[in-house]
């Protein structure tokens, strides 16, 4: 039976949102006074050096920099670093130690593939102006905060890709950090992969048998290979493991890493044949995989907004908009072709139409099928989901064209040249797509590789309210002016006109007036909540695993696919949910998840069986496959 999920205030915002909020709050108090800003910039080097070390970060409370911060912000940071100390001073090897005591030992080499925004990015620019940032992280460390605080324009310039080529802007080189440290921590004690690495180490793994395949998540799949030869290097990693250990490898992915993995499997099958996969990859473990996309990608590209930015306290929202506005964020996001791989796939058949969605509950008063619901722009009125004068609805099938109408031509060309979002049922066309690389991120248009001995584990959390659809409004003239200013660095021409129509282009915003916490589904600040892991909707997490890949046309080799759900049941006293969290990111510290990964790596994968808490099998049956 499906139970209604109570809306929850996010404990932890998305990485880039959290970073922007922290930067916005601090900057508000320092940029007003150039002298104070200069003094803080001089001292911030020492501070960020300390905070980039997760163990030193826990000792932040004694630093003299606290005196510069307002009392409210100091109290907030006290809470953050108090919890950070608890997580960094005690390394958690519990799961690995227990399995080692039961006889587990390394069997297969392990390759880790991170998700969106979790790999650190560092500057390799050597010009006189930017030389001070050489080899410093501009993403994924406290030096990111330093650069954003005191050199925001230059920081954005480095992180923004050229909108036409999808590569570095002229004169800029930013590359992914390498080694296990590239994604062990995001910043200052905020662990990402470290718990998994610790538990693998506890059964005997070390730097020689664990590889973290860091990559520049901003790039399209094509450009990952064209610029960095990423997939060639990844292929070489597996081949080296086979030569050194005489064993296949286990590939463990997280979030968007699951989409990158799927592309890699098709790429290497095309380049080296399915026998290569049979020889070199034992299992693929997808953690919180984004196989069919995420709803939040749509408003993120439209307006730079998502639940993480509209459901925060008003004062923080104000500070964030002043420092790094929604239109500035959207302009930056739209140059990151890699993140566009997360746009939802499959159209109305997967995500629903104006009257029905596969994951609508029996007591639903509104359907998730209306992905974007536009309401009249009358700021004097309060709106609820049962308004009768809604202007229009946009379903998933219309979403692609809607994005094209509301974004610049460069973004349109990027999407069309890198990705497909459809639903292919014809087996002959699915086979022919093996030669069409723009389909290789869409599991509805191309099949799993023909490697029958490969095993695919889908591990993900369930039970945390997740954004699924949105109430929108057309932006104001100020929004149009803000977008023109935000995109000045991206294009020389105005961005408020569409080349196809010549008419002024509307700016969409999430309509935060729409509140209906007593409805089903719950709507809060314009965001309609559904089932999932807090970031990825359940349909994307599990529909292919529980049903789609059971169909021969999408799995012609009959690869074994195991779906193992973890219930989100966080420990109330723990900032990250403790060992029972099913949150999209915090699941990486889950005891159950770590146990499953160690078992698979040590040759006990048969102990990881199908396990369901949600109604994903029922929802998947409702899809018109």
Q: Which long-range contacts (CB under 8 A, 24 or more apart) does 397-406 make?
A: 397/347, 397/348, 397/353, 399/298, 399/343, 399/344, 399/371, 399/372, 400/343, 402/372, 403/298, 403/301, 403/302, 403/343, 405/498, 405/500, 405/505, 406/302, 406/505, 406/506, 406/507, 406/508
Strand partners, 566: 461
Q: Which of 71, 25, 617, 614 is nearest to 312 (CA)?
A: 25
- Give how far the C-alpha of residue 270 lies from the chain's centroid of Cα atoms, to the nearest Å: 27
CA–CA gap between residue 335 and residue 92 (Å, rounded): 38
Q: Which of 579, 586, 472, 570 is nearest to 8 (CA)?
A: 570
CA–CA gap between residue 198 and residue 460 (Å, rounded): 20
Q: Which residues of 397-432 are buried (b: 16+ CB within 10 A; e: fewer)?
A: bbbbebbbebbbbbbbebbeebbbbebbeeeeebee
Phi first, then psi: give them for residue 261, nearest 5 degrees: -60, -45
Report CA torsion sign: 436, 440, 441, 444: positive
Whether the bond into 293 is cis, omega within 30 of 0: no
Residues 316/487, Cβ–Cβ less than 8 Å: no
Tokens of 263: 């592309």
* Catalytically active residues, by annotation: 255, 533, 584
Q: Which of 120, 115, 118, 146 is nearest to 133 (CA)?
A: 146
Q: Are strands 174-176 and 121-123 parallel, antiparallel or unpaired?
A: antiparallel
Which phi-psi region, left, alpha or beta, contains residue 273 (left: φ > 0; alpha: ψ -120 to 50)?
left
Largest CA distance in the chain: 70
Tokens of 244: 């050194």
Phi first, then psi: give them for residue 466, nearest 5 degrees: -135, 135
Tokens of 279: 């020889």
Which H or E run includes 83?
Answer: helix 71-89
């Amino acid at each position: 039976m499906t139970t209604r999920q109570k809306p929850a205030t996010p404990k932890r915002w998305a990485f880039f949102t959290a970073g922007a909020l922290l930067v916005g709050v601090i900057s508000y108090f320092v940029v007003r006074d150039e002298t104070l800003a200069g003094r803080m910039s001089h001292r911030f080097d020492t501070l960020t050096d300390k905070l980039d070390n997760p163990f030193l970060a826990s000792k932040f409370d004694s630093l003299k920099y606290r005196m510069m911060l307002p009392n409210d912000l100091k109290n907030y940071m006290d809470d953050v670093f108090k919890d950070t100390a608890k997580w960094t001073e005690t390394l958690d090897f519990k799961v690995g130690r227990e399995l080692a005591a039961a006889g587990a030992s390394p069997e297969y080499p392990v390759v880790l593939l991170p998700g969106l925004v979790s790999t650190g990015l560092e500057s390799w620019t050597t010009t006189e102006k930017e030389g001070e940032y050489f080899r410093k992280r501009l993403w994924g460390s406290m030096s990111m905060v330093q650069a954003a605080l005191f050199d925001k324009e230059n920081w954005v310039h480095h992180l923004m890709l050229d909108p036409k080529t999808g590569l570095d802007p002229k004169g800029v080189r930013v590359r992914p950090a390498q080694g296990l440290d590239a994604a062990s921590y995001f910043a200052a004690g905020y662990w990402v992969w470290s718990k998994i690495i610790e538990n693998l180490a506890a059964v005997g793994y070390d730097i020689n048998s664990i590889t973290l395949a860091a990559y520049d998540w901003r790039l399209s799949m094509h450009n990952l290979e064209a610029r960095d030869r990423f997939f060639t290097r990844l292929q070489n990693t597996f081949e080296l493991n086979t030569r050194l250990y005489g064993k296949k490898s286990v590939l463990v992915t997280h979030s968007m890493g699951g989409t990158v993995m799927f592309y890699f499997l098709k790429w290497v099958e095309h380049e080296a044949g399915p026998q290569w996969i049979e020889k070199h990859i034992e299992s693929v473990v997808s953690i919180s995989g984004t196989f069919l996309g995420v709803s939040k990608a749509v408003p993120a590209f439209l307006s730079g907004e998502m639940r993480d930015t509209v459901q925060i306290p008003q004062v923080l929202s104000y500070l964030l908009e002043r420092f790094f506005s929604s239109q500035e964020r959207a302009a930056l996001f739209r140059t990151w072709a890699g993140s566009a791989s997360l746009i939802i796939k499959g159209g109305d058949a997967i995500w629903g139409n104006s009257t029905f969605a596969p994951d609508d509950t029996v007591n639903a008063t509104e359907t998730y099928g209306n992905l974007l619901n536009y309401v009249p722009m009358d700021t004097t009125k309060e709106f609820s989901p049962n308004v009768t004068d809604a202007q229009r609805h946009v379903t998933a099938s219309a979403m692609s064209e809607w994005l094209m109408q509301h974004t610049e031509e460069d973004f349109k060309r990027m999407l069309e040249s890198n990705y497909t979002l459809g639903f292919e049922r014809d087996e002959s066309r699915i086979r022919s797509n093996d030669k069409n690389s723009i389909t290789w991120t869409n599991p509805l248009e191309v099949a799993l590789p023909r490697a029958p001995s490969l095993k695919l584990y889908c591990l993900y959390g369930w039970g945390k309210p997740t954004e699924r659809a949105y109430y929108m409004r057309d932006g104001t003239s100020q929004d149009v002016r803000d977008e023109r200013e935000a995109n000045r660095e991206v294009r020389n021409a105005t961005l408020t006109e569409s080349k196809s129509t010549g008419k002024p282009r509307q700016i969409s915003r999430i309509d935060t007036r729409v509140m209906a916490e007593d409805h089903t589904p719950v709507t809060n600040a314009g965001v309609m909540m559904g089932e999932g892991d807090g970031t990825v909707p359940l349909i994307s997490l599990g529909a292919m695993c529980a049903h789609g890949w059971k169909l021969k046309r999408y799995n012609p080799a009959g690869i074994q696919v195991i779906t193992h759900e973890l219930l989100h049941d966080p420990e109330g006293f723990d900032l990250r949910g403790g060992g029972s969290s099913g949150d999209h990111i915090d699941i990486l510290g889950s005891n159950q998840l770590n146990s499953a990964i160690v078992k698979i790596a040590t040759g006990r994968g048969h102990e990881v069986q199908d396990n369901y808490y949600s109604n994903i099998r029922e929802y998947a049956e409702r899809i018109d496959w």
